[in-house]
Chain A
Amino acid sequence: MRHLLSTADLSREDALSILDTAEEMSGVSAREVKKLPTLRGRTVVNLFFEDSTRTRISFEAAAKRLSADVMNFSAKGSSVSKGESLKDTVQTLEAIGADAVVMRHWASGAAAQLAASDWTDCAVVNAGDGTHEHPTQALLDALTLRRRWHAAHHGPDQSPRGTDLSGMKVLIVGDILHSRVARSNIWLLNTLGAEVGLVAPATLLPVGVETWPVTVHYSFDEALAPDSAGRTPDAAMMLRVQAERMVGGGFFPTAAEYTRRWGLTDERLATLERLRLGETDCPAMLLHPGPMNRGVEVSSAAADSPLNHALDQVSHGVSVRMAVLHLLLTGADDS
């Protein structure tokens, strides 16, 4: 692996290698000395063309726990906003001595372009590109799901190392059309053997979704009900919905109607609370990439529910990003 651009081009082996490494990194985050010397003398640049304090801090923590030097380059309000090209910015950063560029960009494909260009030899980590992908978010979601799923079936003391999500059924609910989190999750969950259901109004599903390895539901209630094989979903991933923009664009009539039909309301929360992980007694899971819009895609009660793993997701984010930086920045350059 030279770059992490998309979960679509991660093999099962690569994905498990990241998740297994992340499991070990979680141990480091739990101990007193939360630092490893692995990337001593290496420089990681967080190049953010779009504000995202959460993602930036997570990557920063990950790089620092691996002893890398971290430079944060917020391209908002810098020379970049005055017309400097991505090419010049990146070449500047490489001249400063960056080994890896973690890039958040508003343009779909920006990370892939950077990796394909001859502008830099840095490893490129896609920290979210437009409405395309956000691979580390999907990996941390998978880590969160795998841990629970494995613990439910084999007990909490067994390591989930080497296991995938076979048998799991995950719903992704909300604005699939504009969601990089959804895209990355769909490919990764599929690679890891999980079954994926999408729940959204047709206006928020892309044309072409019929070719994706997913089941599409227009009704959240139907998606939560047992399928023809009698199985119910094991996890619901609620996507953030920018209601004002969506209403303005005619994607749905009002925020209230969206919430009634596609939100995790108290009534649907009660349904979710009755669902179990596979055949076990462990409760189903609620995931949200954050930040949550309480009262829009999730009710306040759902947000505060013990089913909600949002905080696990945050801590797993650091572990996954440590794993990614380790795997990209160690090993010979030609590997």
Chain B
Amino acid sequence: MVATPETAESSQVMSASDVERALTRIAHEIVETQRGTEGLMLLGIPRRGAPLAVRLGEKLARIDPSFDPAASVGALDITMYRDDLRSGAARTPEPTHVPDAGVDGATVVLVDDVLYSGRTIRAALDALSDLGRPQTVRLAVLVDRGHRDLPIRADHVGKNLPTSREERVSVKLAETDGVSAEQEGVVITR
């Protein structure tokens, strides 16, 4: 995979360290809101939400050693629940992995990279309800760029980013985008 070349039209809005700090802050917020980590499950939405959930899980474990990422972090693919399946190319679903404890009664934090129209989260809520009945569902995103089509909001936001619809927000992560740790970040392209 080739990173989008930096052009005069694009500018970096979050650096690798900004991403790191934002995730740390979100981890603290989650613990505060939850008053701990009991019954907490992180489900990242592939592709980039999945590694973000793993990183958040590691941070949570540092804050609260009783939190076991191996037993509480997973991935929830929403391909089969999308509302735009009739457009674009047919998609191969990404892996879904739900920790053995299951979602029933848990506090599930959905993790994604960019919150935009809200349609992905709508699909994730449907996918989640087919897996069981969580006690609470929250949403953590690295970037909220506005322009919602649906009545959905994030509980934890790394950065609010005012954008126009013509702009493109791309998140680059080492796990998914073939960049080095230092090259990670968020770029906005006009």
A residues near B (Cβ < 8 Å) are 1, 17, 20-21, 23-24, 27-28, 31-33, 35-38, 66, 159, 161, 326-328, 330-332, 335
Does B88 make an interface contact (CB < 8 A)? yes
A330 and B95 in contact, given A31-B131, A36-B80 (Cβ under 8 angstroms): no
- List the B side residues contacting A33 at CB < 8 Å: 130-131
- List the B side residues contacting A330 at CB < 8 Å: 85-86, 90-91
Q: Which of B80, B86, B93, B131 contacts A331 (CB 8 A)?
A: B86
- Alpha-carbon gap, A17 to B91, bound state (A): 9
Q: Would B80 and A38 count as touching, CB distance under 8 A?
A: yes
B residues near A (Cβ < 8 Å) are 77, 80-81, 85-96, 126, 130-132
What are the 5 tightest A-B residue pairs by CB atom distance, in nearest-first order?
Answer: A331-B90, A330-B85, A36-B80, A38-B80, A33-B130
- Alpha-carbon gap, A36 to B77, bound state (A): 12
19 CB < 8 A contacts A-B: A24-B93, A24-B94, A31-B130, A35-B130, A36-B81, A37-B80, A37-B126, A66-B80, A161-B95, A328-B90, A330-B85, A330-B90, A330-B91, A331-B86, A331-B87, A331-B89, A332-B87, A332-B89, A335-B89
- List the A side residues contacting B92 at CB < 8 Å: 17, 20-21, 327
In the complex, what's the smallest C-beta–C-beta distance from A167 to chain B, in angstroms? Answer: 24
Q: Would B95 and A36 count as touching, CB distance under 8 A?
A: no
Q: Would A24 and B90 count as touching, CB distance under 8 A?
A: no
In the complex, what's the smallest C-beta–C-beta distance from A10 to chain B, in angstroms? Answer: 14
- Alpha-carbon gap, A28 to B95, bound state (A): 11
- List the A side residues contacting B85 at CB < 8 Å: 38, 330-331
Instruction: Please report the number of residue pairs spanning A and B whose Cβ atoms sit closer than 8 angstroms.
Output: 56
- Alpha-carbon gap, A23 to B91, bound state (A): 14
- List the B side residues contacting A328 at CB < 8 Å: 90
- Alpha-carbon gap, A327 to B131, bound state (A): 23
- List the A side residues contacting B77 at CB < 8 Å: 24
- List the B side residues contacting A327 at CB < 8 Å: 90, 92
In the complex, what's the smallest C-beta–C-beta distance from A50 to chain B, in angstroms? Answer: 29
- Alpha-carbon gap, A335 to B87, bound state (A): 9
Q: Would B131 and A24 count as touching, CB distance under 8 A?
A: no
- List the B side residues contacting A332 at CB < 8 Å: 86-89
- List the A side residues contacting B81 at CB < 8 Å: 36-38
A36 and B130 in contact, given A326-B80, A331-B91 (Cβ under 8 angstroms): yes
Q: Would A326 and B90 count as touching, CB distance under 8 A?
A: yes
- List the A side residues contacting B132 at CB < 8 Å: 32
- List the B side residues contacting A24 at CB < 8 Å: 77, 93-96
Q: Would A27 and B80 count as touching, CB distance under 8 A?
A: no
- List the A side residues contacting B94 at CB < 8 Å: 24
Known: A28-B80, A331-B88. 17 other contacts (CB 8 A): A21-B93, A24-B95, A24-B96, A33-B130, A36-B81, A37-B81, A37-B126, A38-B80, A38-B81, A66-B80, A159-B95, A326-B80, A328-B90, A330-B86, A331-B89, A335-B89, A335-B90
- List the A side residues contacting B80 at CB < 8 Å: 28, 36-38, 66, 326
Q: Which of A21, A27, A37, A335 contacts B88 (CB 8 A)?
A: A335
Which residue of chain B lies nearest to A1 when distances are taken between CB atoms in the complex?
B90
In the complex, what's the smallest C-beta–C-beta distance from B88 to chain A, in angstroms? Answer: 6
Which residue of chain B lies nearest to A18 when distances are taken between CB atoms in the complex?
B92
In the complex, what's the smallest C-beta–C-beta distance from B76 to chain A, in angstroms? Answer: 11
- List the A side residues contacting B88 at CB < 8 Å: 331-332, 335
- The CB with the most chain A CB atoms within 10 A, among B81, B85, B88, B93, is that of B93
- List the B side residues contacting A28 at CB < 8 Å: 80
In the complex, what's the smallest C-beta–C-beta distance from A326 to chain B, in angstroms? Answer: 7
- Alpha-carbon gap, A24 to B95, bound state (A): 6
- List the B side residues contacting A331 at CB < 8 Å: 85-91
- Alpha-carbon gap, A36 to B85, bound state (A): 13
- The CB with the most chain A CB atoms within 10 A, among B77, B85, B132, is that of B85
- Alpha-carbon gap, A36 to B92, bound state (A): 14
